[in-house]
Amino acid sequence: MDDNYKTVLETVVDDVFTNMAFLFCDPIENNIDIHKYDGKAARMIFHGVVNGSMIAWLENSIIHEMTTNILGIDDDAKLSDAELEDALKELLNVLVGQFLVAAVGDKPIFDLSVPLILTSEKTNVDKLWNSSKSIKFMIDDRPLIINFHCERDNNDY
């Protein structure tokens, strides 16, 4: 991933999680055993002066905490898979929108796809974790991965 994009994306991820989900994420460089964690991923594609896509993979309890925070309900509220997936998609939607303006300015208009949940079969979390196009964070002891590529990059994570 382009270093400039990486810096911008790190700032955007921090801002969006803080302001939207009331969660604080810290970038990590060291390795963890990503297989220990279960999570969900969503993907969104954009076309414009830059073409590309973003994938957000979040450990499941982060998604739950984020959803209760956004809705302003009890921490231990029961939520359906549909509600959790909706929150993950909305988070990705906001990440992409904020990132594009931060990266290329507020003049261009982008054609954004609707965010889609990736099935677990299609999500190779190992590959996501090790991809050079991913930035990785921890919220407490729980991981999240943001994978980003644009038109000059290879699409394969």
Partner 1 sequence: MAYNILIIDDSFIVRSVLKKTLTLANVDVEDLFEADNGVEALEIMAGMSIDLIFTDINMPKMGGVELVQTMHKDSLIKDIPVVVISTEGSITRVNEMTKLGVQAYLRKPFTPEGIKKVVEDILGDKSCG
Partner 2 sequence: MQYAIQISDMQVSGNSEDSLIIYSLGSCLGLSLWDKEKKLGGMIHCLLPLSKADTAKAKINPLVYVDTGLPLLLQSMFDMGATRANLEAKIAGCASVVNANSFKIGKRNEAVARKVLWKNNILIKGEQVGGSLARTFLLNINDGTTIINPRSEALSF
Q: Which of 24, 108, 140, 151 binds partner 1 (CB under 8 A)?
A: 108
156 interacts with partner 1 by CB under 8 A: no
Interface pattern 14-53 for partner 1 (x via CB under 8 A): --x--xx---------------------------------
CB of 55 to partner 1, least distance (A): 16
Q: Which does 22 bind (CB under 5 to 8 A by kind): partner 2, partner 1, none?
A: partner 2
Q: Measured from the CB atom, is 19 or 132 closer to partner 1?
A: 19
Q: Cα(47)–Cα(52) distance, rounded to whole angstroms?
A: 7
* Strands 26-27 and 134-139, sheet pairing: antiparallel
SS3 label, residue 4: helix
Query: Read out DSSP for 85-135?
Result: HHHHHHHHHHHHHHHHHHHH-SS---EEPPPEEEPTTT--HHHHHH-TTEE
CB of 114 to partner 1, least distance (A): 5
CB of 140 to partner 2, least distance (A): 7
CA atoms within 13 A on the CB side of 111: 4
Amino acid identity, position 4? N
> Residue 58, Cα to own-chain centre: how many angstroms?
7
**Structural Rg of the chain based on CA atoms:** 15
Which residues contact partner 2 (rule: CB under 8 A)? 18-19, 22, 24, 69, 72-74, 140
CB of 39 to partner 2, least distance (A): 21
Interface pattern 83-102 for partner 1 (x via CB under 8 A): x--xx-xx--xx-xxx-xx-
The residues, any chain, with a CB within 8 Å of residue 50's CB and separated by 6 or more, are: 100, 103, 104, 150, 151
Residues that bind partner 1 (CB under 8 A): 16, 19-20, 67, 70-72, 82-83, 86-87, 89-90, 93-94, 96-98, 100-101, 106-110, 112, 114
